[in-house]
Amino acid sequence: MNDFDRFAHDPRFEVAIKMNCKRYTLHKNEPPENDRPEALLQYTYYELYTKVDLSVIMKWARAEQYYLCTIFINDEINSDAGTFSMNYIFSGGIPATITGVKYLFDPKEGALPSATTLYPNAESLEQEYDLFLKEDWNREQFGPPKVLLRKPPKGLAPMRQDRYSELIKHLIPKYYHLLEPYLDNLAAGRTTVVGDIHAQIIGGGLFLFTTDGEIIETVSIVLGEQFRGIEKLFETKSLLSGWSLAECVAGESSFAHSMAYCQAVEALAQIRPPKPAVYWRALFLELERISNHIGNVAALYQDISVDSLCSRLLNLQEAIYQLNEKLTDNMLLRGVNRPGGIILNRGKRDFPPLNEIHERVAEITYRFLLLCEAGLNNRGCQKRFSHTGIVTRQQANEQGATGIIARSSGEVGHDFRILHRSGVYQENERIKEILNSRWSSGSQKEFKKKIYLEDLIGDANARLLLRIAEVESSSKIIGEIAATLESFGEKSKLMNARIGTALEAKKAYVDFGLGLVEGWGGDVVYWIMKGPDNGIARCSLRDPAAYNFPVMQLAVDRNASTGNENILADFPIINKSFNNSYSGYAK
């Protein structure tokens, strides 16, 4: 509850950290820097037993402006601890490191501490506590969360270790969480319900607007239609075969999710994938980013009814999809990542050589930039995009926005390719330069519009400009990667490392691994704990949509202090400029 405020002026908090908690490092005998597995980050780990230290550490983290990566509960009945544990993972400091905080608690206690006073983005993650706890855990004191999630009924606790799916299915009633409870108590004459199913080929959620004339005052978002219980399903898979399920969480960013999963397993085994695999992974990640950004810009122009630009941009997205299919037989790059490396059939008939990949991507970006320049010079489009859905820098910082939304609000350094460098982004100097200069694009002669920091005020225009800049920077990165891959020569045939024996040597219910990837919408975080027989005891995943949906609510609501006023027709533009994945939020 208000544990954090009691220790606001406690001068002893530094002493408390040293005395009352144990400190671990992930590896006792750390190998020298050159051999350190690239998926591992400098990791310090605090284990706590009392609430005092937890509040102190949280206050300190917030004061140092640490970014909260995930929160999750772990049922550790089978390990030495024997109880439940709440885990917080932060990233912060210069150079950026990861700190993890683990707080052991007894599930029969009523009141659990909540991090929402300091980290509002924790709300969407704390809604999943209900999946572990049978009784209420004192959540009502904070009021309803910003984005409601339809979850299984209370008392079920499906994520516990002693529950399995057949047992749970008998306990779930036939229908639950119908639409009616959300449609009660609406202000008569002033609400608009944009319902469960949406008009085009798009999966959606329920949006309830309260309007003052045309202007939106507030919106309440109800999600969770795509709730599949994937975290529980991971426990039926083995470590080496779970990547297929990780791709299924969010189809748009399936490569980023599978890459984070594989990095977590490699961190668990302390095995480093071979260099060609690392470079190919980065190449595919950037390809995914380009295809999604182009599609997003096309959809934005479709919402404004500029179909001429939309259809031409969809042609370019189609070209990228066809390139994907030539490389991997799958338009979403599925089936490529494995723990230990990748699997690529380079002997295929249509497999293009590396310089041809680079040329195609470069031509596609050239045409993309020309089309976008036409759109940006059009004043009608500018009027629709500018000053709609403003998210200020302070809001993005406090509410914990990630990815494009944080960068377009002014926090341009919030990119996990820059902060936690690993692999390609650590070794190649030119790629670092490219990433640091995204917002001063205009190096191509024909694209005259430059993107300056002053343009990044957090509206839909800023997000559009930043997506264009990211496409450009991604194509340059692909060029660099292709050049280095050609220089490898014969070594580039080795793509996969043996990981099975290293995994068997690890202890079940004790060893864990963390994987962090900057996907096209933000950072994807996977935490995996090993179970018996090379299985998975707990897999906790976090998609960037979990942080960006509440921020979208802020962008839509009327806010006099920031001057944010949107009409009902602006909502599709805001929704599309954020482009959070509904299935990533409700996993």
Number of residues forming the site for another protein (CB under 8 A) = 74
Q: Applying CB under 8 A, which of residues 25, 44, 236, 437 lies at the interface with another protein? A: 236
Residue 150 found at the interface with another protein (CB under 8 A): yes
Contact pattern from residue 465 through residue 504 relative to another protein, giving x for each residue in contact according to CB under 8 A and a dash for the rest: ----------------------------------------
Residues within window 259-298 making contact with another protein, judged by CB under 8 A: 295
Residue closer to another protein (CB basis): 6 or 448: 448
Both ends of the chain: CA-CA distance in Å? 28
Phi and psi angles of residue 377, each rounded to the nearest 5 degrees, phi first: -80, -10
Q: Applying CB under 8 A, which of residues 77, 230, 508, 568 lies at the interface with another protein? A: 230
Residue closer to another protein (CB basis): 137 or 243: 243
**Host H or E run for residue 379:** helix 379-385
| Least separation in angstroms between CB 106 and another protein | 25
The encoded tokens of residue 508 equal 């079940």
Q: Are 112 and 138 contacting, i.e. CB atoms less than 8 angstroms apart?
A: yes
| Least separation in angstroms between CB 472 and another protein | 11
Residue 386 found at the interface with another protein (CB under 8 A): no
Residues within window 240-259 making contact with another protein, judged by CB under 8 A: 244-245, 247-252, 254
User: Measuring CA to CA, which residue among 221, 212, 210 is closest to residue 187?
Assistant: 210
| Least separation in angstroms between CB 244 and another protein | 6
Residue closer to another protein (CB basis): 122 or 250: 250
The encoded tokens of residue 300 equal 């934005």
Q: Are 428 and 282 contacting, i.e. CB atoms less than 8 angstroms apart?
A: no
Residue 414 found at the interface with another protein (CB under 8 A): no
Q: Where are the beta strands (DSSP E) in 137-287?
A: 147-149, 191-194, 206-212, 215-223
Q: Are 130 and 154 contacting, i.e. CB atoms less than 8 angstroms apart?
A: yes
| Least separation in angstroms between CB 492 and another protein | 24
Long-range contacts of 40-43 (CB under 8 A, 24+ apart): 40/267, 40/270, 41/97, 41/98, 41/420, 41/422, 41/514, 41/516, 42/97, 42/98, 43/97, 43/98, 43/99, 43/100, 43/514
Contact pattern from residue 334 through residue 373 relative to another protein, giving x for each residue in contact according to CB under 8 A and a dash for the rest: x------------------------xx-xxx-xx--xx--
Which range in 69-77, 161-169, 498-506, 553-561 contacts another protein by CB under 8 A? 161-169
| Least separation in angstroms between CB 199 and another protein | 4
Residue 314 found at the interface with another protein (CB under 8 A): yes
Residue 193 found at the interface with another protein (CB under 8 A): no
Residue closer to another protein (CB basis): 324 or 388: 324
Give 25's strand partners: 44
**Host H or E run for residue 59:** helix 51-63
| Least separation in angstroms between CB 172 and another protein | 7
Tell me how far apart the alpha carbons of residues 181 and 191 are, in angstroms, rounded to a whole number.
15
The encoded tokens of residue 291 equal 């295809």
Residue closer to another protein (CB basis): 44 or 443: 443
Contact pattern from residue 46 through residue 85 relative to another protein, giving x for each residue in contact according to CB under 8 A and a dash for the rest: ----------------------------------------
Phi and psi angles of residue 68, each rounded to the nearest 5 degrees, phi first: -85, 120
Residue 581 found at the interface with another protein (CB under 8 A): yes
